[in-house]
Chains A and B, each alone.
Chain A
Amino acid sequence: MSHHLNDLLEELRAQVARMSTLVLQSVEQACEAVFNADGKLAQETIDLDQRVDEAEVKVEQSAIDLLALQQPAAGDLRFVTTIIKVNADFERIADCAVNIAQRMLPLSHQVDYHVPADLRLMANTVLQILRDTIKAFNLRDEALARHVIKSDDVVDALYHQIVQDMLTMMESDGQKANRDLGNIMIAKNLERIGDHCTNVAEDVVYIHTGRIIRHLHAV
């Protein structure tokens, strides 16, 4: 085969791996900021996003160059076209981390802020799903990707539970509405991260099998 093409594909894979590490760091920091009401860490998460954005542009440029100059086919074509989509999902995950951090900044100034137990559980669940997603992508692990897709139901259930709890608390104590609304928005962004992980996992299945399983109920 063309060694040059192989090298370019490996380089692209490495670029996405490096980017996904940054994205994971961003979400971990955002969650840590929530757990500890840490405004400084929240700000660091926001600042980190520029590096993620730069990495995203590099990956996209490399993928487009590879398509235009090497004209990959079959499995290579599926890999490169999927990279473009996965790249966008990873970048959006980092954006969600920034959203969480931005919501956390004012909450961190509240001396009595404590993260609700379900929100902590949801954040830890999403973090594990993100780690599994990155692992499934890097190792092209179809079974793990399918596990990620199924795990999203847990995240959705937690999100609905948190929204319900916060609405109940707002009704009973309107003085803390800002805090409760902030928690809902944090949960919403965690839920979006779960959705993006599902997208990436579906793309891993596509790379592996050539089957588009998006929108199919049976996985």
Chain B
Amino acid sequence: MGRVSLQPPTVSAMPVNLDRSEQVPAAAPATPTATASPRDLINPADVLIEGRNVSVFYGHHEAIIGVSLAMARNHVTAMIGPSGCGKTTFLRAINRLNDLIPGCKVTGELLISGNNVYDPRIDLVNLRRQVGLVFQKPNPFPKSIYDNIAYGPRLQGIHRRSELDIVVENCLRKAALWDEVKDRLAASALSMSGGQQQRLCIARALATRPTVLLMDEPCSALDPIATTKIEDLITELRASYTIVIVTHNMQQAARVSDFTAFFYMGYLIEYNATSAMFTNPIQKQTEDYVTGRFG
């Protein structure tokens, strides 16, 4: 198994327009080597999140091994791979949620807007405000729908009801939930359906005005209708947020993401435009995984 070595961050590829229609021209003679890395497709000025030789250790176990990749602002990046490949570990490293795990150590650099999130001077509260996380299972607070959304803004010092009302409505609208709950904002969030609860969690994550939204298998506990709503939501939110999604559902990765990273045993095996990953992957391991021939 070969480690993927992306271009060093200081060596920038030729800037290419990120207009999706130009990323992979339909009739282009795209040889595999021509799309070896999304760096060739991502204008360096559009990079928001960048890992540079990132390794994550749980004690002596190296769960992520020297991963370098750049994620584009206002795009959706999917991370796929079999269980235990390190994709969720990498996702949680982005907002330092792994810090809570005893014995966890991160080496290398993980930059957001050029700032290393592992710099000791970084304000963790501010980082997690900027980088929202939606978990696998909906986890609304045992409070009202309104208070779930208002929770973060209140912590940030917003207490005026009129201001909070605006935040709550905006976030619920962005999460495509407002019309369903506007008449019962005082009801318990736990009374909502699973799909609604997950959209509430997304709305809650949006309330702190993040720039990045991390999603860890956000639809794995939802039925197909609720899944479709979340996927539509991801597509709409892309215009305003940079989204990173971990999913076991490869068709979901294909449907919602612009770029896809394939992890295996802690290595980043391939990272490319999603259309290329699912039609003409470069690495044989990627081909085997997306066609179900793995193992």
Q: Which of A's residues lie within 8 Å of B, judged by CB?
A: 1-2, 5, 71-78, 210-216
- In the bound complex, do residue A73 and residue B278 qualify as a contact, i.e. CB atoms below 8 Å apart? yes
Q: In B133-164, which residues have CB < 8 Å from any A CB? A: none
- Distance of A51 from chain B, by nearest CB (Å): 33
Given A73-B278, A74-B280, A77-B278, answer yes or no on A1-B293 (Cβ-Cβ < 8 Å). yes
- Distance of B295 from chain A, by nearest CB (Å): 8
A73 to B254, CA, bound (A): 10
Residue from the list A5, A78, A210, A215 in contact with B292, Cβ < 8 A: A5
A58 to B286, CA, bound (A): 32
Q: Is the interface of A mostly helix, strand, loop or mixed?
A: loop
A76 to B293, CA, bound (A): 11
- CB contacts (< 8 Å) of B286 on chain A: these are 74
Q: Which of B25-33, B53-61, B90-98, B116-124 contacts A (4 or more CB under 8 A)?
A: B25-33
Size of the chain B interface, CB-CB below 8 angstroms? 21
Q: Does B266 contact A (CB under 8 A)?
A: no
Query: Could you show 28 A-B contacts with beta carbons less than 8 Å apart?
Result: A1-B291, A1-B292, A1-B293, A2-B292, A71-B251, A72-B291, A73-B250, A73-B254, A73-B290, A73-B291, A74-B278, A74-B279, A74-B280, A74-B281, A74-B286, A74-B287, A74-B291, A75-B291, A76-B291, A210-B32, A210-B279, A210-B280, A211-B29, A211-B30, A211-B31, A212-B27, A212-B29, A213-B29
- CB contacts (< 8 Å) of B280 on chain A: these are 74, 78, 210
Q: Which 10 A-B pairs have the closest CB atoms?
A: A210-B280, A1-B293, A73-B290, A74-B287, A73-B278, A1-B292, A76-B291, A74-B290, A2-B292, A74-B291
A214 to B26, CA, bound (A): 11
A1 to B290, CA, bound (A): 10
A213 to B286, CA, bound (A): 24
Please, which residue of chain A has its CB at the minimum distance from the CB of B250?
A73
A84 to B29, CA, bound (A): 22
